[in-house]
A and B are shown apart, each in its own frame.
Chain A
């Protein structure tokens, strides 16, 4: 779980965005949350936020990530972190994130807040619990067309 200090600062938002050495250098944090498809989560075009996470949305989330949609982490407190860098990778928003889409991770990294956006530079994945959010029990598959039709 993210540190209490970090959570408090994120809650106020402006504290981190307002400037100062900490804002310029970033803040070391540990975030626990689900790797999400940020497009479907924020756009609402596929349904409510709770329906576009977890197992119900995993297939679509893979497509979105592969198509270039930036991947985020949805923390337990509801905060969303945009993943800019992935451990050891040179590229911005590296495509290896596909391998952890929908997983519940605990990640160490550096948080930079810019213009109200939480940019997370992941340095290490401390724990990977796999896909734990079994939303398909409530929502089946979202979107429904992800289900293959019989040949």
Chain B
């Protein structure tokens, strides 16, 4: 694919940002090196690279001690009033008693979502029965495309247990504010659809509705599974 990046090194030019979606679509979404994967497992395996990602960011030494019991230092009250991919109105109260793993993104996102969601899916598999009670939740940042009807099939590509939440923009903005997630439109794809930059940490919310930890989505599925399991 031809790239028309009109920026030299060290310069963030407007053209570069406009090309963002294309580059990310052919980069991160495809293993960030142009490789197209047929499955989440294959993508995760490819993303494992030389093994660094599996250990990242604790790249050296033995497995770190779990930090369950230590509060995570962010003031987040995970609240939302949205509609799930089956059309059911839900709030955080509907998940009371269940841990949640929450990610903000959108089903058509070809950048960080296509990194995070396969890893999340693989982590669910790796946790097995220990993670059976975990509710993996995607809160959309693109309600225009992530409608109730669209979300289910889109998320099923990654994992059948993924729960998609959408709703009016005002309700989604309240959810983003609660989780301190920032969203901005950075470009349009060739079809004229928006491309968003958005916060991408994974939020592990405990059964009592308290944020237990955040995880960078670059972690390999093994690390995600290991960390989550340490809190369950």
Contacts and interface: CB of A to CB of B under 8 A. Distances in A.
Interface string A109-151: 0101111111101000000000100001000010101111101
Contact of A39 (B5, B32, B71, B184): B32
A1 interface: no
B126 interface: no
A14 interface: yes
Interface residues of B, number: 69
Interface string B26-44: 0110011110000000000
A93 B201 contact: yes
B17 interface: yes
A149 B69 CA distance: 53
24 contacts: A38-B216, A38-B218, A39-B115, A43-B52, A45-B33, A45-B49, A55-B9, A59-B16, A64-B24, A66-B17, A66-B197, A67-B111, A69-B200, A85-B74, A92-B179, A93-B199, A95-B182, A114-B67, A114-B70, A117-B58, A117-B215, A117-B216, A131-B10, A145-B34
Given A58-B10, A115-B65, 10 more contacts: A26-B73, A38-B56, A49-B52, A59-B5, A70-B200, A84-B214, A93-B201, A115-B58, A116-B64, A141-B9
A58 to B, nearest CB: 5
Interface in A47-105: 49, 55-56, 58-60, 62-64, 66-70, 72, 80, 82, 84-85, 90-95, 98, 102
Interface of A: 13-14, 17-19, 23-26, 38-46, 49, 55-56, 58-60, 62-64, 66-70, 72, 80, 82, 84-85, 90-95, 98, 102, 110, 112-119, 121, 131, 136, 141, 143, 145-149, 151
